[in-house]
Amino acid sequence: MGKTHIDLDHKTILVTGSPGFIGANLVMRLLGTLSGGTVISLDNMNDYYDPRLKEYRLGQIEKAAAASPVRHVFVRGSIADKALVEDVFSRYSPQVVVNLAAQAGVRYSIDHPDVYIESNLIGFYNILEACRHHEVEHLVYASSSSVYGGNKKVPFSTDDKVDNPVSLYAATKKSNELLAHSYAKLYNIPSTGLRFFTVYGPAGRPDMFYYSATEKLVRGETISIFNYGNCKRDFTFVDDIVEGVVRVMQGAPEKAAGEDGLPVPPYAVYNIGGGTPENLLDFISTLQEELVAAGVLPSDYDFEGHRKLVGMQPGDVPVTYADSAALERDFGFRPSIGIREGLRAFARWYKEYAKS
């Protein structure tokens, strides 16, 4: 399918889930590179993890906005609030929408299913309805590598079947793709889903392993390494994710009519992952080295005494591995930042953030 080029300059762009991790980095990228327009951040600032981190990211966004020609508006609220979503679309008329708001986390979904239905299904439905009634040029939304479930074939391709989710979180993300496809078909809404692969970096989510492990090691606690260390993850640094999102935002699936005269769904899905899965034990060793180099932990820290190998957790999968060939073909981009560079940036950020 062809692409319709969208110039983001002087557009009104809505980013839900900012100041979440990816959302905050995306908004700061837009504020730092565009020469005009409006960027709207929408987030409910929930307490799934320490809200102080979101407040910190919001502060970073506000600093970037103060030095930018782009107007920034922050709206505090939930995408599950249909009246609020409608009000935002009516008031600002966004031309490009990036939906990153979602309840994240595989393990959390096992014990807290309600919040996943509310945010990931009802919330996303509200975004789709708003896009239906207020014409947008492009809807970009976050899916997840978790949709691949227990697929044995690697690397994971967007051509693979993804009908067997192993967590409620994964099921809601697959549902987002199905809903977006139906709205693209019925209402000719150009939409692109992005399957993110294990995103990490400075000011990331504290529930992610690299961050929670760091905090436990700092406190002298023991970290658990799942599946006895026999896991591989396609870790993707947040700057690579943002670069991919920005490029995709500028290329909406082309509208076209089929032989029956009805719209061919202007719909696409891409993986964004490094394509180089890392063994979990190697990732941990690199993290430890960078934490020492940054001065977060002393050079004589007893790492072996502070880690234990445990079995696989419910909802987890042993391997994630992205085939990003379609992203490279259509947008000329493939993630390239390695774990050494990425974890070094995280460790240095953590050293400074821990002082505040």
Quickly tell me which residue has 């209402």 as its tokens: 187
Distances (CA, A) of 298 to 224, 301, 356: 21, 5, 20
Say if residues 201 and 257 touch (Cβ distance below 8 Å).
no
Q: Which of 49, 116, 125, 169 is catalytic?
A: 169
Q: HEC states along 148-164?
A: HCCCCCCCECCCCCCCC
Q: Which spans in the chain are helix H?
A: 21-33, 51-66, 82-92, 108-111, 113-116, 124-133, 168-187, 209-218, 238-249, 280-293, 325-331, 339-355
DSSP lists the bridge partners of residue 251 as 5
Measured distance CA(1)–CA(89) in Å, rounded: 28
DSSP lists the bridge partners of residue 256 as 264
- Cα 201 from chain centroid? 12
Is 169 assigned a catalytic role? Answer: yes
The amino acid at residue 288 is Q
The amino acid at residue 88 is V
Q: Which residues contact 48 (CB under 8 A, 6 or more apart)?
A: 103, 104, 105, 108, 115, 207
Active site residues: 169
